[in-house]
Amino acid sequence: MARRVHVELGERSYDIVIGRNIRIGTVLKQTGATGGLLVSDSNIDPVHGDACQAGLESIGLKVARLVIPAGEQSKSMTSLCRIYDRALELGLDRFSFMVALGGGMIGDLVGFAAATYMRGIALAQVPTSMLAMVDSSVGGKTGVNLEQGKNLVGSFYQPVEVAVDLALLETLPEREFVSGLAEVVKYGVIDDFELFELIEANVDGVLQRSGKLLEQIVARCCEIKAGIVSEDEREGGRRAILNFGHTFGHALENAEGYGRLLHGEALAVGMVYAAELSAWECGLPVDQKERRSKLLRSLGLPVSPADAGMTWNMLREKMTADKKTRASVPRFVLAEGIGSVIIGRTVSEEVLAEAFEVLVCRA
């Protein structure tokens, strides 16, 4: 039986349905919409596009398809305009819908298209990657990248439904699956020590994508995210804890060139960097710092920058373009211990550079 996790946001509330071979589109149907656009990418559409379209059509929703080239480079204004063009060509109106079938790139891009097309139409998220299932499909962050940085244009726009079909993970390439596990570890670090320990004790089972364990982990991550988003939808406060590891992670992703490092891989390095800063700035015990790196490594995630030529100056410059930066001073989420985090911390330039050196030495 499918599990349901409720995201309470008043009139914008919705459920995340988690299971295997689950039905998609029932809530879209209830909105009264009859037609829409199913957007996917060139990796996902050939594998899951037909089944998703058939599922929507089986409940009377007429749907056309659009395929965007796979890869983070497609999370762009150019792709956004392609979606608008296709929607207009199809005559979609304010009562139409969009379905985002894919990983984080598709979810963010299509979410932003749905948020802005005709000032907002109904959106369903059908995540196909681990990262999208536990993070990006939930909570309404949508947007595209600019050359200067990640997610610099976007909006908060909630879907009407999120269908997390774990069967879709069976075809997910190993590297992408592992990349998504970085977000899972993040929830353990910022909020739930039991989750952290569960992963630590079951690394092999997690990597084998074992059925019940995977369902338990995905559902727990969705519960944590739903709770945080319900409390602070627009990141006025607590939601910022979800950015743990992201200040450095986004800078690294951008400096390496989008697509070289997957988001979760950059996040893993970013979390190790944040832990290093936390040890300097708020006394994160060394054993806890090491425990995080060890877990990330045992899952097959990187813990230092992959590119040996990456310099501190390159990364520091990229951090200035981060959304969390104010007046050129980057802000960090730091941790005092597992489950205890501090948001919006600034750190001296010396410590920032020193922590980078420590990271490079780990390579």
Q: Residue 246 Cβ, how far from ligand GLY at the closest point, in Å?
A: 7
Q: Which of 161, 176, 183, 256 is catalytic?
A: 183
Is 29 tagged catalytic? no
Q: Which of 186, 250, 292, 318 is catalytic?
A: 250
Is 331 tagged catalytic? no
Give one DSSP letter per residue of 303-338, joined into a string: SS-S-TT--HHHHHHHHHTSTT-BTTB--EEEEEET
| Calpha distance 189→185 (Å, rounded) | 6
- Give the angle subtended at the CA of 82 by the CAs of 81 and 84, to the nearest 5°: 60
Q: Smaller CB distance to ligand GLY: residue 135 or 191?
A: 135
Query: Which of 285, 319, 261 has its CA nearest to residue 131?
Result: 261
Q: Residue 92 Cβ, how far from ligand GLY at the closest point, in Å?
A: 27
Is 6 tagged catalytic? no
Q: Smaller CB distance to ligand GLY: residue 239 or 292?
A: 239
| Calpha distance 13→6 (Å, rounded) | 7
Q: Which of 72, 223, 233, 235 is catalytic?
A: 235
Q: Which of 75, 82, 150, 246 is catalytic?
A: 246
Q: Smaller CB distance to ligand GLY: residue 135 or 161?
A: 135
**Residues 337/285, Cβ–Cβ less than 8 Å:** yes
Is 276 tagged catalytic? no
Is 75 tagged catalytic? no
Q: Smaller CB distance to ligand GLY: residue 239 or 324?
A: 239
Contacts of 50 (CB under 8 A, 6+ apart): none
Is 48 tagged catalytic? no
Is 243 tagged catalytic? yes
- Residue 1 corresponds to which amino acid? M
- Give the angle subtended at the CA of 299 by the CAs of 186 and 361, to the nearest 5°: 85
Q: Smaller CB distance to ligand GLY: residue 139 or 330?
A: 139
| Calpha distance 240→252 (Å, rounded) | 19
Q: Which of 119, 170, 212, 350 is catalytic?
A: 119
Is 119 tagged catalytic? yes
Q: Residue 149 Cβ, how far from ligand GLY at the closest point, in Å?
A: 15
List contacts with ligand GLY (CB under 6 A). 135, 139, 141, 239, 242
- Residue 126 corresponds to which amino acid? V
Give the active site residues.
119, 141, 183, 225, 235, 239, 243, 246, 250, 263
